[in-house]
Amino acid sequence: MRRIPRWPAALVLLAALVVPIREAATAAPPSGSDGRSVIVQLFEWKWTDIAAECTNVLGPKGYGGVQISPPQENIVLPQRGYPWWQRYQAISYQLESRSGTRAQFAAMVQACHSAGVKIYADAVINHTAGTWPTDTRGSAGSPFTHYNYPGIYQTQDFHHCGRNDDIANWNDAWEVHNCELVDLADLATETEYVRNRLVAYLNDLISLGVDGFRIDAAKHMPPGDIAAIKSRLNGNPYLYQEVVYGAGEPVQPSQYRGNGDLIEFRYGQQLGAAFRNGSLASLQNLGNGFEPGDSSVVFVDNHDTQRAGALTYKDGAVYTLANVFQLAWPFGTPVVMSSFSFTDNEAGPPSSSDGRTNDVTCGSGWVCEHRQGAIANMVGFRNAVGSAAVSNWWTNGSNQVGFARGDRGYVVVNRDSAALSRTFQTSLAAGTYCDVTRGEVRDGACTGPTVTVDGDGRFTATVPAMSSLAIHHLAKVSSSPSPSPSPTASASVAVNVNATVTTWYGQDVYLVGSIPALGSWNPANAKPLSSASYPVWKATLELPPSTSFQYKYVKKAPDGTITWESDPNRAATTPAGGTLALTDTWR
């Protein structure tokens, strides 16, 4: 089978759109009411590594979900060097792959849920595998041929389009839906038997706690087939569909809107073009002419496009700045890519000579873009600003831009070779704020640069060349001087915490929350509780008066492992004076 980019005719550069600015829409946060709307694609990571990442990085940084690689049994191709795309050729629906076993998969889902992070599986349901030698086996050892998967599918369960093996005419909707995509056996998803198989597979994943699915190659299934499968899924899984826009083609993303969200490829194309060799000023209207923002999933790059000319980690600071902009701009549900490094577009993840994937060690073949300070902290920025609209847009007409997100945040992106020094207008309250692209709040102080917003919402700053600045209302480290409080006002309120939590020997319990006094969701800055009255853990904390906040309890093990209690976040408001009691039980 020849191997070509999986979307041979579909990655079309978007022409510049000249339309009036409108307020960009925001997709419903896939992680629910806690405001965590950012997904990270941990491409080709093992389940054990994802579990640890959820606990130690993703949960604390505020990521809402993980897109995982296809979990089903797939072909194994040592003769091709175990390429990444072997994961997209399904052999059976056993949960055995180089990412791990079924048991490891289930443990990963549980660990991520405990950290407040949801799991979205890449679902390969349009096709099975291509034509390979008869001794080729699946990752669980299953034999197969192109149209025969013993005990699962036989010849009658596939389309045999009769015109040509592969799709030849992308302007023929029947071919797009019924002919083969690069020789991959095309499932007859209109038949009851095939639908039963696919529904059973997806419901099995749902039974293990999977929260939703990226529907791979959705463009090659009629919308009605996907709707029929979705209608039989248990619960209400989140779906986002891979339907690549092609100008003038008969199969369009809009035809799939009723089935779930849509992956908006044009977003990354326009964003990447502006950052690579265009003008950031053109991004004032980013999202106009695309699928609606409240049903779009967007990215700078993904596993396909980073092998087809997209902006990637290889572009260095430009790539980082593009991610900062994406996370600040209120369009769609953003997906942050986390790659392994590659020079060969077909190469698989870092692995041993027999194809076993290596443990993740960032910098040793694993890029880990999602951990990069500016990107990871902008996840918190997006969570903090929520659905606030864009305002106070500023640009030098070229590659320096700044804009507010209502009264909740402000971001500056300088993709210029010279530093940017000026005064910016925000709607933020007066005070000193931490620049979260170059630091973070710890123990009420900023580890990087700060800016001071005056009483009129203005601040003056210098943003270095090829750099950025972002501040938000939850990264405020001090307030401007104000009149002395009246004799009855309190500088702080005593909060008495009583939490019933069962632990094993060596574990400790902490409280972490949304305000700096509670660590700004960073478990490293969480407040310790005393076990003297075990199983009731206690503490008296001093918090600012008349302040609303969210919080959770976390357990810390001697080896540093952190366990978060389950969603949703708890919420409380301190009174103007006196005390507040928090009496809770771990959940």
Q: Which tens digits make up the pLDDT trace of 304-332?
A: 999 999 999 999 999 999 999 999 999 99
165 labelled catalytic: no
Range of the structural domain that residue 540 is part of: 493-585
Query: Structure tokens of 443?
Result: 């123990």
Q: What are 334's two structure tokens?
A: 């953003």
Residues 6+ apart with CB under 8 A from 84: 43, 44, 303, 346, 347, 348, 349
Q: Is 483 part of a structural domain of the chain?
A: no
In the predicted structure, residue 14 carries a pLDDT above the cut 90: no
Report the distance separating Cα 95 and Cα 106, nearest Å.
10
Determine, yes or no, domain membership for 229: yes
Tell me, yes or no, whether 301 and 405 share the same domain.
no
Same-domain check for residues 138 and 226:
yes
Domain total in the chain: 3
Helix (H) or strand (E) holding 267: helix 265-277
Structure tokens of 281?
């000023």
Which distant-in-sequence residues (6+ apart) come within 8 Å of 68 by Cβ? 42, 45, 47, 50, 99, 119, 120, 121, 122
Tens of pLDDT, residues 56-74: 999 999 999 999 999 999 9
pLDDT band at 30 (very low <50, low <70, confident <90, very high): low
Map residue 210 onto helix, strand or coil: coil
The whole-number pLDDT of residue 5 equals: 33
Based on the fold, state whether residues 376 and 401 are members of the same structural domain. Answer: no
The backbone torsions φ and ψ at residue 552, rounded to the nearest 5 degrees and listed phi first, read -145, 165
Whether the Cβ atoms of residue 333 and residue 296 lie closer than 8 Å to each other = yes
pLDDT tens-digit map of 252-261: 999 999 999 9
For the residues 497-513, what does the mean pLDDT come to?
85
Per-residue model confidence as pLDDT tens digits over 415-440: 999 999 999 999 999 999 999 999 99
* Confidence tier at 17 by pLDDT (50, 70, 90): very low
Of the CA atoms within 13 Å of residue 389, those in its CB half-sphere come to: 6
Check pLDDT > 80 for residue 31: no
346 has catalytic annotation: no
> What CATH number is associated with residue 402?
2.60.40.1180
**158 shares a domain with 127:** yes
pLDDT of 285 > 80? The answer is yes
Of 157, 211, 242, 584, the catalytic one is 242
pLDDT at 481 over 70: no
Contact call for residues 245 and 263 (beta carbons, < 8 A): no
Distances (CA, A) of 521 to 28, 268, 474, 542: 21, 30, 10, 17
30 in any annotated domain: no
% of the chain exceeding 70 in pLDDT: 91
- The single residue of 216, 264, 435, 440 carrying the catalytic annotation is 216
Q: Are 453 and 388 in contact (CB under 8 A)?
A: no
Mean pLDDT of the chain: 90
- Do residues 272 and 265 make contact, with C-beta atoms less than 8 angstroms apart? no
Judged against a pLDDT cut of 60, whether residue 485 lies above it is answered with no
Domain check: are 268 and 369 in the same one? yes
The band of 19, judged by pLDDT with boundaries at 50, 70 and 90, is: very low
Supply the pTM of this predicted model.
0.79
